[in-house]
Amino acid sequence: MNATQSTFSLKSIYIDFREITKARLAISVVFSSIAGFMLGIYDLHSLDWTVLLKLAVGGYCMVGASNAFNQVIEKDLDALMDRTKNRPVPAGRMSRVTALIIASLLTIVGIALLYTINPKTAMFGAVSIFLYTSVYTPLKTMTSLSVFVGAFPGAIPFMLGWVAATGEFGIEAGTLFLIQFFWQFPHFWAIGWFLYEDYEKAGFFMLPTGKKDKGTALQIILYTVWLILASLLPVLGYTGRFYLTPIAAIVVFLLGLWMLFYAVRLYKLRTAKAARTLMLVSVSYITLLQLIYVFDKFLR
Q: Average pLDDT for residues 208-220, to the nearest whole number?
A: 94
Q: What is the pLDDT of residue 255?
A: 98
Q: CB–CB of 105/129 below 8 Å?
A: no
Q: What is the pLDDT of residue 104?
A: 96
Q: What is the pLDDT of residue 298?
A: 93
pLDDT category at 72 given cuts 50, 70, 90 is very high
pLDDT at 1 over 70: no
pTM of the full structure: 0.93
pLDDT at 3 over 80: no
Q: CB–CB of 33/158 below 8 Å?
A: yes
Question: Residue 220's CB: how many other CB atoms inside 10 A?
Answer: 29
Read off the pLDDT of residues 109-146 as tens digits, 9 standing for 90 and up: 999 999 999 999 999 999 999 999 999 999 998 988 89
Nearest partner of 67 among 13, 26, 113, judged by Cα: 26
**What sign does the dihedral 15-17-19-25 (CA atoms) show?**
negative
Q: What is the pLDDT of residue 2?
A: 52
For residue 69, give every residue at least 6 positions away whose Cβ sits within 8 Å of its Cβ, in sequence order, or none. 100, 103, 129, 132, 133, 137
Question: Residue 14's CB: how many other CB atoms inside 10 A?
Answer: 11
Question: Residue 221's CB: how many other CB atoms inside 10 A?
Answer: 15
pLDDT at 7 over 60: no
Q: CB–CB of 64/53 below 8 Å?
A: no
Q: Average pLDDT for residues 242-253, to the nearest whole number?
A: 97
Q: What is the pLDDT of residue 8?
A: 54
Distance, CA of 178 to CA of 30 (rounded, Å): 18
pLDDT at 6 over 70: no
Burial class (CB in 10 A: 0-12, 13-18, 19+), 155: buried
pLDDT at 177 over 80: yes
Greatest pairwise CA separation for the chain in angstroms: 65
Q: Give the DSSP letter of residue 45.
A: G
Q: CB–CB of 290/31 below 8 Å?
A: yes
Q: Average pLDDT for residues 270-277, to the nearest whole number?
A: 96
pLDDT at 226 over 90: yes
Read off the pLDDT of residues 259-270 as tens digits, 9 standing for 90 and up: 999 999 999 999
Q: Is 44 left (phi over 0), alpha (psi -120 to 50) or beta?
A: alpha
pLDDT at 249 over 90: yes
Q: What is the pLDDT of residue 300?
A: 76
